Structure 1
Amino acid sequence: MKLSQQIINPLEVHGPTIEGEVQPLNYKRIALDMIDSSPLESLTCSALKTAYKRKNIDFPVVFERDLIIGQRDFGQVITALENGSSFVYILTSLRPGNITLAHHVLLTFCSGLQRCYHIPVIVQVCDIEKFYLEELVLEDIQKLYHDMVPQILSCGFDQNITYIFSNIQNSQFMYPNIIKIQKLISVQEIMDFYSLTINDIAGFVTHPSYAIAATFASSIPSLATHSQAWRCLCIYFCEKDVHYRLARNIACNIGETPPATLALKIFPGLRSVGTNMLLETAANSIFMVDTAAVIRKKINSCLSGGRETIEEHRKLASALSTYKQVIVAITAGFVQGAIIEKDVAIEMFRFLCPTSNAFHALVSKYENGLILSGEMKKEVIAIIQEIVISYQRGLQL
C-alpha cells in the first residue's frame, strides 16, 4: 500500500494519500505544528458576538462551527478594540487572479470585522509569488492584480479604510524591513518550513520576507506615520501560518510589535477535502464570476461521501426506524449513511450555510442515510448560487 504524509505550507497543501487518493487533512497534526497557538477563548467569542449584535452585523459562522484552528493574542486585540483602541489593522493576503469562493469566505470575514470595529484592512496581493509559480510574463501578472482590485472591494470593504497593494508595487516601502528580515532567517529555515529543495528557484527563498514585512506597520505607507502604535491582526487559512509564526519570532529583534494571528481551517478544492481551493486548478475551483449552471456542474461532480449504492447508503436509516438509534445500528454492523468527513460539498456548506440549525439538520440527514448525495448537493448548490449571484450584482454596481 502506497502512503504519503500530508503537506501544509503556503506553496502546497494536500492531506495524506493512500494509493494516490488524497485523504482529509489531519487538523490535530496541523494544530500541534502551529507552535504557541491556542484555541479561541469563549470569553473572546462572547465579546465578539455582543459587538456584532451591537452593530447589527451577522455573526460569522466560522466562530460557531469549529473552523478556527488557532490564534495568538487574538483576545488581546479584541479587548483593545472593545476598550476603544483605533490602532489595529487587519492583514490578509492572496495571489492575483479571479477570486474564488475560498477567497470570498476569507475576505467577507475580514470585511465583517472591519465594519464591526471600523478598523483598516490591508490586502496584500502576492504577485511576485504568482510570477515564480506560473508561466506568465510580468505584465500579465500586473494586469491580474489590477483586475482583481474591484473584485476584492466588492466583498463588503469600506473603501476609505481599505488598502490593497501588490508586492511589486509596494516593495520600495517594504524593502528596509525585508532586508532586516532576510538577515535574521537562514536559508535552511526557509527550506525546512516551505519544503524546498536545492533545485527550487531562488525566489522562493526570498519571498517569505515580503509576507512577513507586511505584518509591520512601518512597511505600509498609509500607517507608517504612527507605525509603533499599530498592532497587526493577521487573518488567513492555516497553510500560511508559517509566515506569521516567523514574523512573531523576529519582530522584537527589529524593533517591531509581534502580530496577532487568527488561523482558519482550509476551504477545500473540488477533488478532495484534503486539498486547498486557493492552490487548485480552475477546474477544481469555484470562481465568483462563475454562472449558476457552471456552479451546479462543478458541485455535482465534486468528491462525495455518499456510499456506492443507494441500498448501502440507506441501511442506517432503515435501522433507525426499528432499533434504538445509532448505537444499535453500529452494534448490528449497519453502514452509517454518508462519510461526511470525505464529502467536499458538506465541508463547503460548513463555511457557507448562514444558520447553524439548517447546517446541522442537513448533515444529520445525510450522515444517517435519510437523504442521498444528490439531494444534499442540491441544497449546497442553492446556497452557493445565492452567494455568487449576490456578489456579482454588487460587482456590477
Structure 2
Amino acid sequence: MTDCQADGDGARSPMELYEKLNAQGETVRSLKTAKADKAEIDAAVQLLLKLKVDYKQVTGNDYKAGCPPSENVVMSDNGPAADGANDEDTVDPWNVATANAKGVDYDKLIVRFGSSKIDQELVDRIEKVSGQKPHRFLRRGIFFSHRDMHQVLDAYEKHKSFYLYTGRGPSSEAMHVGHLIPFVFTKWLQDVFDIPLVIQMTDDEKYLWKDLTLEECHRFTVENAKDIIACGFDVNKTFIFSDLDYMGASPEFYRNVVKVQKHVTFNQVKGIFGFTDSDCIGKISFPAIQAAPSFSNSFPQIFGGKKDIQCLIPCAIDQDPYFRMTRDVAPRIGYPKPALLHSTFFPALQGAQTKMSASDANSSIFLTDTPKQIKNKVNKHAFSGGKDTVEEHRKHGGNADVDVSFMYLTFFLEDDEQLEKIKQDYTSGALLTGELKKILIETLQPMIAQHQERRKQVTEETVKQFMTPRPLNFNF
C-alpha cells in the first residue's frame, strides 16, 4: 500500500507529456470504434483528461493535437499559488499536489471520486453503535469520506461482524508522523468494535516502483512493522504480513489475486492508474495484490473458508483507485465489496500544497527525531499563517487554515475546547506564531518520546509473532 503522501516519479518533459497525450487520444478513439466496455472507455477518458491538466500545468498552454510544445517552453515549478487557486488537484496513489495553501479541496475530491461525505449523522451513528465517543479524526473531519460505512454498521447492529484491513508501503527505515494517521485510527476501530485486523506490507510494490533491492524492501517491512506494533495493536487480533512472504505461503491469497487479475483489463489499469507501455509488467499486475486482502478467504487461518465477511479499509484517499477497482470486481467473483473510510493528507512542514518526502528530513517530523530535532524543525520549517511583524499580527491576526503548526495540532491535540481556543487566539492576534509553534513542540515531543519507548520494547520475536499466519482470538 502506498504511503499517505507518496513520493512522485518526477516531472515529465513537455514533449513526453505531449506524446503521451497523443497515444492516449488514440487509445480512446480505438476503444470507442471497437465499442468497448463502457468502464474501459470511461477509465481511458479520465486518464486523457488528467494528462491534459498535467500538460497545462507544465507548459501553461492547452494541449492541441498536431501542435507540439515549443522547445523553449519553461517547465512550471508548481510553487505555492495564491489562496483559493482553481487548478485541479492531483491525487493518485503516487502523487499528491495542489496549488492551494489550504491543501487539497476534499469536497471536490468526493465528487470526483464518487464517494460519500462523512457527515455529522454518520459520526453520531458510529458513536451510537460503538458506544464510544468518536475519535478526534472523525470529530474533526480528518477522516472525511466513506464508501458503504452505513452498510457495515447495519450489519454490525444485526450481530454480523466485519474485519479491518489497512497497509503500509515500506520505502524507508524511518516512518514519519504522517504515516501513523491510518494506524492510530485503525487501532481505535479495532478497540471499539473488538474485531480482527490484517495489515499488508507492500514490500513487493516498493521493489517495483523504487530503486531498491528486494532485501532492502523486506528489511524496511520489519523495521516499519516495529513502529506499527508500537501503536499498541493487540497481537491476538492482528496479523501483519509481507507480500513477499505471504503470497508464496498462502494458496488462498494467491488464488484471489489471480481471480482479480482475470477480471481487470490492461486498458482499465492504464485508465485507473496511468500506467504506460514502458511500465514493467509487475506494476500492471500489482493492483490485484492490493485488492486480495479485501476478501476474507484470503486469510483461511483467521476466517476459515468464509468468503462473506465484510471488510472495512481505513486509508488515505489517494489509495481509493485501488479499491474502486476492487469494488468493481468483487461481485463478479462472488465476494462482498469492501467498505472504506478515507482520511485527508498529512501536510508537509513547508505547507499543505507540498508533499512530505522520506528523502527530505526537513519535510516532516520523523519517529526517530530527538526532542531537539523536533523543536528545530518546527521553528525553522513549519509554514506559518502569521503576519510579518508582531504589530501586524496583533492587529490583523493569523490564518489558522494555512498554518502548518495549527494543522498538526488538529491531528494530535485531543482536547477540542483547547484546540478551538488556540484557533480563536491565533486568528484574533492574541497568540503569536512563535507561541503556537511552542504549543506544537510541547505536544509532539512527549508523543514521539513515548512512541520511541514503546518501539524499544518491540523485539524481533514480537515482530515474528505478529507476522506468523495463525488463528486470531475472534468468533464469527
Q: Report the alpha carbon displacement of residue 206 of structure 1 after superposing the two structures with TM.
A: 1.9
Q: Report the alpha carbon displacement of residue 251 of structure 1 after superposing the two structures with TM.
A: 0.3
Q: Report the alpha carbon displacement of residue 75 of structure 1 after superposing the two structures with TM.
A: 2.0
Counterparts of 1:81 and 1:387, CA distance in 2: 33
Relative to the length of structure 1, the TM-score reads: 0.85
Q: One-letter code of the match for 1:95?
A: G
Change (3 A) 1:271 1:187: farther
Find the partner of 2:428 among 359, 364, 368: 368
Deviations 1:193-248 (A, max 9, x none): 23344444433222211111111112224335133231100100111111111111
Counterparts of 1:263 and 1:279, CA distance in 2: 22
Change (3 A) 1:79 1:279: farther
Q: Report the alpha carbon displacement of residue 377 of structure 1 after superposing the two structures with TM.
A: 1.0
Alignment of 1:107-122 (within 5 A): 107-122=183-198
Q: Report the alpha carbon displacement of residue 354 of structure 1 after superposing the two structures with TM.
A: 0.3
Find the partner of 2:220 among 144, 148, 153: 144
Alignment of 1:127-206 (within 5 A): 127-172=203-248, 173=250, 174-206=253-285
Change (3 A) 1:130 1:254: same
Percent identity of equivalent pairs: 27
SS in 1 for 2:401: helix
Task: Work out whether residues 89 and 231 of structure 1, in 8 Å CA contact, stay in contact via their aligned partners in 2.
Answer: yes
Find the partner of 2:154 among 60, 79, 83: 79
Deviations 1:231-279 (A, max 9, x none): 1001001111111111111100111110011111111122221245477
Deviations 1:160-201 (A, max 9, x none): 110001121122333222222222223233233233444444
Find the partner of 1:93 among 155, 158, 167: 167
Q: Report the alpha carbon displacement of residue 53 of structure 1 after superposing the two structures with TM.
A: 5.2
Aligned counterpart, 2:375: 296
Counterparts of 1:69 and 1:195, CA distance in 2: 25
Aligned counterpart, 1:334: none
Change (3 A) 1:275 1:192: farther
SS in 2 for 1:164: strand
Q: Report the alpha carbon displacement of residue 387 of structure 1 after superposing the two structures with TM.
A: 1.5
Change (3 A) 1:85 1:186: same
Q: Report the alpha carbon displacement of residue 388 of structure 1 after superposing the two structures with TM.
A: 1.2
Counterparts of 2:360 and 2:291, CA distance in 1: 26
Deviations 1:267-312 (A, max 9, x none): 1122221245477744312222221111112222122222233333
CA RMSD for the aligned pairs?
A: 2.3
Q: One-letter code of the match for 1:250?
A: V
Aligned counterpart, 1:262: 341
Counterparts of 2:361 and 2:336, CA distance in 1: 38
SS in 1 for 2:419: helix
Q: Report the alpha carbon displacement of residue 389 of structure 1 after superposing the two structures with TM.
A: 1.6
SS in 2 for 1:111: helix
Find the partner of 1:306 among 386, 392, 403: 386
Find the partner of 1:340 among 400, 423, 444: 400
Counterparts of 1:78 and 1:252, CA distance in 2: 20
Counterparts of 2:372 and 2:441, CA distance in 1: 10
Task: Work out whether residues 296 and 381 of structure 1, in 8 Å CA contact, stay in contact via their aligned partners in 2.
Answer: yes
Is 1:315 matched with 2:389? no
Relative to the length of structure 2, the TM-score reads: 0.72
Counterparts of 1:275 and 1:255, CA distance in 2: 41
Task: Work out whether residues 12 and 279 of structure 1, in 8 Å CA contact, stay in contact via their aligned partners in 2.
Answer: no
Aligned counterpart, 2:145: 70
Is 1:9 matched with 2:87? no
SS in 1 for 2:362: helix
Change (3 A) 1:388 1:91: same
Aligned counterpart, 2:55: none
Find the partner of 2:289 among 177, 188, 210: 210
Counterparts of 1:208 and 1:345, CA distance in 2: 35
Task: Work out whether residues 314 and 369 of structure 1, in 8 Å CA contact, stay in contact via their aligned partners in 2.
Answer: yes
SS in 2 for 1:288: coil
Is 1:283 matched with 2:362? yes
Task: Work out whether residues 270 and 302 of structure 1, in 8 Å CA contact, stay in contact via their aligned partners in 2.
Answer: yes
SS in 2 for 1:69: strand
Counterparts of 2:315 and 2:368, CA distance in 1: 22
Task: Work out whether residues 233 and 259 of structure 1, in 8 Å CA contact, stay in contact via their aligned partners in 2.
Answer: yes
Q: Report the alpha carbon displacement of residue 43 of structure 1 after superposing the two structures with TM.
A: 4.4
Counterparts of 2:214 and 2:299, CA distance in 1: 23
Bigger drift between 130-139 and 189-198 goes to: 189-198
Task: Work out whether residues 118 and 141 of structure 2, in 8 Å CA contact, stay in contact via their aligned partners in 1.
Answer: no
Q: One-letter code of the match for 2:117?
A: P
Bigger drift between 292-301 and 202-211 goes to: 202-211
Change (3 A) 1:225 1:103: same
Counterparts of 1:271 and 1:195, CA distance in 2: 28
Task: Work out whether residues 51 and 116 of structure 1, in 8 Å CA contact, stay in contact via their aligned partners in 2.
Answer: no
Q: One-letter code of the match for 1:371?
A: L
Task: Work out whether residues 69 and 238 of structure 1, in 8 Å CA contact, stay in contact via their aligned partners in 2.
Answer: no
Is 1:38 matched with 2:113? no
Alignment of 1:236-275 (within 5 A): 236-275=315-354
SS in 1 for 2:116: coil
Counterparts of 2:143 and 2:360, CA distance in 1: 25
Change (3 A) 1:203 1:298: farther
Q: Report the alpha carbon displacement of residue 41 of structure 1 after superposing the two structures with TM.
A: 4.7
Which ranges in structure 1 are unaligned for 5 or more consecutive residues?
317-336
